[in-house]
Structure formats: C-alpha cells, structure tokens
Amino acid sequence: MPENQEQLQKLFVGGDLSGIQNFLYNISSKRAAVSLKGRSYYLSELMSKASEEVRSVALAAGASSAETETIYSSGGKFYIITENTPQVKQAITEWAKKFKRKLWEDHFGLLAFNFAFTPFNETPDGKVNTIKGDSEKCGELWRIVNAEFAKQKNRKFEDIIRADFDGHFCPIPIGDSPKVCAITGVESEKCVEYKYCPPNEKEPVTMLVLPSVKEQIEEGEKLNRQDEGKSFEEYAGDTYLGVLRMDVDGLGKRFITGFKSIEKYKVFSKRLVDFFENEVKQIRKNKSEFYNFTNIIYAGGDDLFIVGRWDIIIDFAKRIHDEVESRFKEDGITISGGITIMKPKFPIAKAAEQAGEAEDEAKHFKMGDTEKNAIHFLGTTISWNEYDYVCCKKEEFVDLINNHNMSKSILHKVMLYNFIAQRNEELQKQGKPQDFSYLWHAPYYLTRFADKKPQEIMDFVRNLRDKELTGDKRKLQLVALAARWAELTIREKKNENEPL
C-alpha cells in the first residue's frame, strides 16, 4: 500500500449527471414530441462536451496525451483516466465548479452534476492499487467514485447555495407580469419569445420559453424533420400510444465486480454504448413497422425511452431484448422494461412516469431462480422466458375469434377468473376469507363453452380447461394477460380506420 497519493501515477475521473429523468419529462404538452427529442439530444451533447472539456483541461494542465483517455461517455456519465498531478487535480476541480454553476444558471436545479476522482496504479495482471490498498478487480475504482457520487447527491448545490445564501432564500420581488416558461413552468426574466404553428392552425403562436428550452426545441425540430416530423398522434396511427422504458439489469454491480482489467471494461463498455446509441436505431430502421410507428426519444448508456403505436412498441421491446440476449449472453447481461398504453393526447410526462413505474415492477420481478429480466405491460409482469407463451396464446385467441367465430366472451371470463385469483392473494394477506369459486366455475364454464363448437375451438378450449387453467395460478395469470392483449388487438383490427 502506498504511503501517499503521489506514489499513484494515474487518476480515475468520473462525472455523473443526476436529474436526467425529471429533466427529460418536465414539459407541458405543448411541442411535447420535439421538446423530448431535443432534450434527449441536448443531454447527450452536454455530457459528451463535458467529457471532452475535462480531457482538454487535463492536457492543458500538463497531463500526457498518451496517458489521458476517455474510457466511457454515455447515458449521463463519463469516466476518464489521466495523470495524477497536483496541477491536473486542481484544474479539473476548478472546471467542475464552473460546470456546476452553469448547470444551475441554465436549468434552475433540474440538473445536478457529481464529480469525483481517485488516484491509482494498475498492475500488468489487471489489479489496481488505490489509496485504500490493493484490489483484485478494477471495479474498485468505480466503487470509490460512485460512493462519492452518492454522497454528493445528498448535498446537491451545496457550494452554490453557500456562495449566495441570501440570494437563494430571501424573497425575490417580481413584476406585474412575471415571465414563465411555457414548457417547464420555470419563472425567469431570461425567458424569450418562441413562435410555432400548432397542428391544424394557419397562424403562428408566440410563447415564452427559457433560452435553453428554445435551443432544445429547435434541435428537436431539426431531428424530427430528419425523422419525418411526425407527432405522437401520427406515430400511434389512430390507435393507442405505447411508451416503453428499458434498461440493463444490475449494470452498476457488473462494473464494480465483473471485470479483471480496465482494458476488458473498455471493450465491454464500447460494445454497450454502440448498442444503445447506434444498434437500437438500426433495428428500428431495418423493420418498416418499427420505422413507421415508433420514435426513439432517448437511447444511451444502458437505457432507452421509445414511443409509438402500442402493439408495435411491444414487438420492438421483444426485439431489443432478443438482441441484448444474443449480443451480451456471454457477459451475463439482461434487460428489463415497462410499457404503458394510453390515448395519444395523454400528457407525455405522466405517461413517462407510468412507464417508469412499470419498469420498476419488472426490475423487482422474482420467480424461482429468475430475477429481473422481465417486461411489465397491460398490468402484468412476466419474465422474457414467458413472453413467447403469452404471445402464442394471444395469437390463438385472435385467430379463433376473427377467423372461426369464437365468442369474445371467453376473454372476459378468463380475465375475471384471474382477477378473483389475484384478489385472493390480497385477501389472504389481510387475513380475510378467500373466494375459491373460480376453481369450479372455470372448468364448468369452459366445458359448456366448448360444447357443440367446431373442432378447432373445442380443442383449444378443452386444452385451456385441462392443462392451462386448472390449479395453476401463474398459468391463469399468463392466459389472462394473453386475453387482454387479444382483446385490444381485436378491437384495433375491427376499428383500424376509426380514431379512438
């Protein structure tokens, strides 16, 4: 163990932007599509430029270009390796103070920046030597820096507030007509006018927005023009809109425990960044349904946010999972996600929040030996291993109802029996009597339903009765999800030319 930091020749530098989710979705419905697109791009460019600035500042302070490199920059984070000298540490510390100040002035506390570094040496066999001693894995560097990030998140803007306490906590006089940003709701004298033409309107409308918001909208409009300039309603295609949020399971733990050298980490992170920033877009372009009916709002680091027609969004989520499983199987990487479905004019900020809650449900999924690696949609969480079964059952329901005149009433009955079974779990927790009537009502109903029906309907229903729904609450839950999915699909096929 070295006696002091000067014996450690390298410096591991980390930057972390917090508040990204609130920043992305803190918008009104006005210009929501282009605002989100522009904000996503703005965040990506913000951290990309920040990492380049840190690297430039280190070089200007005397660090060797051969010893200074960005090893990761995506998803609101960056990690850089440079030389450990007093001049470099002082220079990047001063840069971080200025960057935090600018974020405060531009975004009024919506975004915060956490910045930390730790000196180290790396041995030829991949071990690292830090001020805390030797470590078998380079993940110790991430552990030290991320622990400092966590501390700073509990003391957001401390330096800024201390520097001007009265300015932040004393009453601020306002004029007769205070300026309020129409997108974020932030009150500021810095607001500027922005003109736009609402859908189906001939005359432009003027609204007040923050300068940074105007920049984001203009960038979003440019990106939207490249992406055919559709609104959320147009992506929905006269049906429901789906909002998808996904991210990699346990990536932080993977960084801390999973790599034997910095070089191996660099190779993995490059593949991960390339997948989310480039390959996801390519997947969208390669399939016309994805390209015509989905819009990638954000994809970077290890997570993504996509909107589009509800049924296409479900397919897109499955395709992304399959690609992750194929490309990162040897790395032990899985991905979970949540989908919420609503009418296109539903407030996008609320929809994003609900999709985040759905994603959290998937992140907390546990069944047997399976943890996470799941998708939550239509009110139910399933593992990706169960997805094909549910999808197959959905297709059977749709085919028999649309092409063989099977009554849709079976869908509602299956969903009702599942509702009773799920409610029983809550009643049991509350110590109240449970309702087990569905255990005999279901087979009786299905027997009657199958009677004198065409062979294909009879076979399908009897299989449900004998193998799918008898005594297995999980199978009942999966079939009920398939029934709900089929119900929406049939409704849309029937009214595909009619708006909701």
Domains by residue range for the chain, with CATH: 5-165 (3.30.70), 233-377 (3.30.70.270), 395-494 (no CATH)
Please give the structure tokens belonging to residue 329.
Answer: 């199987």
CA geometry: angle 194, 199, 205, nearest 5 deg: 30
Interval 332-391: pLDDT, tens: 899 999 999 999 888 888 898 899 999 999 999 999 888 999 999 999 999 999 999 999
Q: What is the dihedral of CA 59, 64, 65, 71, to 10 degrees?
A: -90
| Least trusted range by pLDDT, from 78-87, 223-232, 263-272, 484-493 | 223-232
pLDDT at 488 over 50: yes
Q: What residue has token string 């051969």? A: 66
**pTM score, whole prediction:** 0.87
Q: Which residues pair with 207 in a beta bridge?
A: 194
DSSP 134: E
Question: Residue 186: phi, psi to the nearest 5?
Answer: -75, 135
Q: Check residue 226 and give its pLDDT.
A: 67
pLDDT surpasses 80 at 223: no
User: Of 28-37, 135-144, 377-386, 388-397, where does mean pLDDT reach its minimum?
Assistant: 28-37
Token pair listed for 227: 């992406």
pLDDT attached to residue 173: 62
Contacts of 212 (CB under 8 A, 6+ apart): 42, 106, 107
Map residue 155 onto helix, strand or coil: coil
CA-CA distance, 447 to 468, in Å (whole number)? 14
Query: How many C-alpha atoms does 475 have within 13 Å on its Cβ side?
Result: 10
The pLDDT mean for the chain works out to 87
Give the Å distances, CA to CA, from 91 to 84, 95, 431.
12, 6, 63
Mean pLDDT computed over 470-489: 92
Half-sphere exposure of 397 (CA within 13 A, CB side): 28
Q: What is the pLDDT of residues 74-113, one digit of tens each?
A: 888 999 999 999 999 999 999 999 999 999 888 888 899 9
498 band by pLDDT with thresholds 50, 70 and 90: very low
Nearest CA to 417 out of 368, 489, 469 is that of: 469
Query: What pLDDT sits at residue 494?
Result: 46
479 neighbors 464 (Cβ within 8 angstroms): yes
pLDDT of residue 497: 38
Question: Please, are residues 318 and 296 in contact by the beta-carbon 8 Å criterion?
Answer: no
The rounded distance, in Å, linking the Cα atoms of 125 and 261 is: 8
Surface-to-core class of residue 400, CB atoms within 10 Å of its CB (0-12 exposed, 13-18 middle, 19+ buried): buried
Highest mean pLDDT among 4-13, 205-214, 254-263, 390-399: 390-399
Decide if pLDDT at 58 tops 60.
yes
- For 79, 93, 227, 424, the CA distances from 115, given in Å and listed in that order, are 10, 8, 35, 49
Q: What is the DSSP string of 384-426?
A: HHHHHHHHHHHHHHHHHHHHS---THHHHHHHHHHHHHHHHHH
Give the count of beta carbons closer than 10 Å to the beta carbon of residue 471: 7
The β-bridge partners of 385 are none
Q: What would the mean pLDDT of 131-157 be, rounded to a whole number?
A: 84
Answer left, alpha or beta for residue 319, where phi above 0 means left and psi between -120 and 50 means alpha: alpha
Reduced to 3 states (helix: H, G, I; strand: E, B; else coil), residue 12 is strand
Task: Provide the pairing of β-strand 192-196 with 205-209.
Answer: antiparallel
- For the chain, give the percent of residues with pLDDT over 70: 90
The reported pLDDT for the residue numbered 44 is 87
Q: Measuring CA to CA, how many Å separate 381 from each of 343, 368, 429, 452? A: 22, 14, 20, 36
